[in-house]
Amino acid sequence: MLLTKDILDEKDKRLRKKNKDVTFPLNPSYKKIIFEMLEHLRLSQIESEAEKYDLRPGMGLAAPQVGINENFFVVCYEEDEGVFKDYVIINPKLVSHSEELIYSSGGEGCLSVNREIEGIVPRYARATFEGYDVDGKKVKFRVREELSIAFQHEYDHLHGILFFDHIDPKDPFKNADLMREI
Ligand code: ZN
């Protein structure tokens, strides 16, 4: 099982490295880590489990956060109370997006960043990502709102970007009036 200590901290240089595209057939060890990443995220969003395993709640993880500098990420989204949907995307590309920008009202969080950071992270309200599943089959996800924020946050990780890179420390709520708060 993937534990909190297995997730790299923001200061780790591997989070800032260039990431390679994954080749198929997928390395079997990647299938295992993808399963473990999703399991970690699901349990982290269930209060009793999070407490039991000392997990911070999170809905997404990208490969570099577990020390793999290759292009894939996962998202586990609670669609309904206790109902989770898993997303896996390998070699993702952001192929289109809305003009409308949104930001998360509570600020963004990251399992690699163990501190509160205030401020606005502008994200597209709607976005389309294309990539591959674990079997190398093409996949396309049209995401919106919270899920769109999560996908863009994880996609950033694959480009060595952390969410607070988008925040101006001198003016963390800059341009809030140009975006919709969700
Ligand atoms: Zn993150």
Domains of the chain with CATH codes: 4-181 (3.90.45.10)
Give residue 61 CA to ligand 1 midpoint distance, Å. 6
Question: pLDDT (tens digit, 9 = 90+) per residue, 4-13?
Answer: 999 999 999 9
Question: Rounded to whole angstroms, how far apart are CA atoms 180 and 28?
Answer: 42
Give residue 112 CA to ligand 1 midpoint distance, Å. 6
Active-site residues, by number, are: 154
> pLDDT band at 2, cuts 50/70/90?
very high
Give residue 154 CA to ligand 1 midpoint distance, Å. 6
Question: pLDDT (tens digit, 9 = 90+) per residue, 82-137?
Answer: 999 999 999 999 999 999 999 999 899 999 999 999 999 999 999 999 999 999 99
Q: Of 5, 56, 8, which is closest to residue 157 (Cα–Cα)?
A: 8
Question: Rounded to whole angstroms, how far apart are CA atoms 72 and 89?
Answer: 6
